[in-house]
Chains A and B, each alone.
Chain A
């Protein structure tokens, strides 16, 4: 492990619109640190993932040591430290969905794209080579009545079967 500090070549900046959103966000809390999660969500939406440049910028905005940002980013599974596919597929794998054969759906996606399930520390193995899809197992998505469920980016798909999943994935550009 090297001891050489990395240099950030292209610093991250919020787009104008996101900067406006951030300025509004930060006013909601008596301490800046509290805006951490919404700010990271905002930054991830813009940058695709939380790169070191994003961490540095967020740390600067919230007036924190950069480690505090890294600390939070690694704790929460929704933040990615590596680039992910255009579509992030989260297959719920907790008991109620497991009782409703979510395994079939998961296996189907794995076979279809010939990828593994991504882990939080290795997203690359669950991402298609064209960078379009990333496959993740997810903990309960709180839709157990319509199990099995899959979230693709922000959209929830219910009562899935491998066939339905196929249809949905084919419909995604």
Chain B
């Protein structure tokens, strides 16, 4: 640890921390654009200038250094005893002197000379570093009389637009593509004040490559101004009109930490949230743009039952009674309960409890999306398992390595079952012919789902469940991180939160379940499921709990 003097504070920071981070840890803002903690530091925006102090032998004392230094590249280290400043400090730096303030004002003036005044139509307005820092540190007037550069707007790829006029050439996006994605589609063209970010093009502006890697959306997040804009979010909403909750991406078993921006009428965008051990600052575009199913018009909104071969709407009471009736008249050995790798730990735990304690069956299985492709990038991986909670569901349902009702074996396993209760909840899960035949052969199939999927179409009763954005709970990712998801929007129509449906069923079957919120179930999980002793909602918090770390 280094002992430093930061403005008037005496603080300890870890060796190797830069001034921006050291200040951030103590709630002092050092404005910056090009610096991003997940990328290399070119120090090109010059916004984070701070004033280090050094020992000046002729004066025999510590004085402000002649030159200001960039906070991003200035790191603090423990100094040897004879090199301490004022006898005790490893480093002395000020971020609030007139010299620093003047430098910030000057840099902001330069940053704004070519910047258009189009905040009223800019998506970034409201969450724009250029706006915020200009307001906090700028001079408020421009002395620039010359003609502004007006570089063209550019289409960079499937989801990214570049409003070049707004660009301040901090090169975060270029560095992201080089360092994290390793794909290098972006670069600068021209020189000096004509610098523009671009993809490679020929002389007639036709592209040779597009910014189409699976991590491309991150460049929009890291753009400190409104230059890089997601086509998906373009002109959709002002940031300040949206609410935000923390959640976990349901797209694969990596379990990227995300924030969900929503309004009453649905989700508006998903952005990655920093987690050091899981996704750092990033997420993939599959997850980022994969939320649209939540807002879909085609979501199941009302229970349905099969009458004369057709699925027709019915009431919850009718649907549940029908199921209870079937369960009651069936031999427990002919009942199968199949949980979902898309579901939370809480609902899978209840499902396991329903199966074992109420229905007295051991035919418990797990359903989920088919594995996809794994994508490896220099600093990021997208898992092949496209379910967020395969590991958690297995733990909750107590399915060992040799469990028979998982994966491909599921279809053989339930071939002789008379009544099956299957929870799906995946945005898409096509079935092959073999699987369809197996499910068709089941006498009475209950499916809890969010769409009229292939599975739901074969059901005798369909129960409308909800997506990750409409419920509380936790997911366990492939590496054992138990993390929270939070309810953002209300379920559509009469759809109900999955664990509540399971509890309703259990109650009607005479089981003893009386939970009021998901956290209550988590408390029970902590008591009953091995390794989950710390995984109460209170403990999980925003950072998650790792069950492998005992």
Interface set of A (CB-CB < 8 Å, partner B): 1-6, 51-52, 55-56, 64-71, 74-75, 81-82, 120-121
Contacts and interface: CB of A to CB of B under 8 A. Distances in A.
A171 to B, nearest CB: 32
B205 A74 contact: no
Contacts of A65: 183-185, 209
Task: Specify the main secondary structure of chain B where it touches its partner.
Answer: loop
A64 B177 CA distance: 13
Interface string B148-178: 0000111101000000000000000000000
Contacts of B186: 67
Contacts of B239: none
9 contacts: A3-B207, A4-B207, A67-B184, A67-B185, A67-B187, A70-B187, A71-B188, A75-B191, A81-B203
B208 A71 contact: no
Contacts of A52: 200, 202, 208
Of listed A5, A69, A70, A120, residue having the most chain B CB within 10 A: A70
Interface of B: 152-155, 157, 183-191, 194, 198-203, 205-210
Contacts of A71: 187-189
A2 B200 CA distance: 13
Contacts of B184: 64-65, 67-68
A4 B208 CA distance: 9
Q: Which 3 A-B pairs have the closest CB atoms?
A: A65-B184, A71-B187, A67-B187
Contacts of B152: 1
Contact of A3 (B155, B188, B191): B155
B189 A70 contact: yes
A68 B187 contact: yes
B208 A56 contact: yes
B159 to A, nearest CB: 11
Nearest to A82: B203
A66 B210 contact: no
A5 B200 contact: no
A165 B198 CA distance: 40
Contacts of A70: 187, 189, 198, 200-201, 208
Nearest to A74: B189
Contact of A66 (B155, B188, B208): B208
A74 B155 contact: no
Given A1-B152, A67-B186, A71-B187, A6 B200 contact: no
B207 A6 contact: yes
Contacts of A3: 155, 157, 207, 210
A68 B188 CA distance: 9
Given A4-B206, A67-B199, A70-B200, 18 more contacts: A1-B152, A2-B155, A3-B157, A5-B207, A5-B208, A6-B207, A6-B208, A65-B185, A66-B200, A67-B200, A67-B209, A68-B187, A69-B200, A70-B187, A74-B188, A74-B189, A81-B203, A121-B190
Contacts of A55: 200, 208
Nearest to A2: B206
A52 to B, nearest CB: 4
A120 B190 CA distance: 9
A4 to B, nearest CB: 7
A89 to B, nearest CB: 21
A3 B156 CA distance: 8
Given A55-B208, A66-B209, A1 B155 contact: yes
A10 B199 CA distance: 21
Contacts of A67: 184-187, 199-200, 209
Contacts of B188: 71, 74-75
A70 B205 CA distance: 12
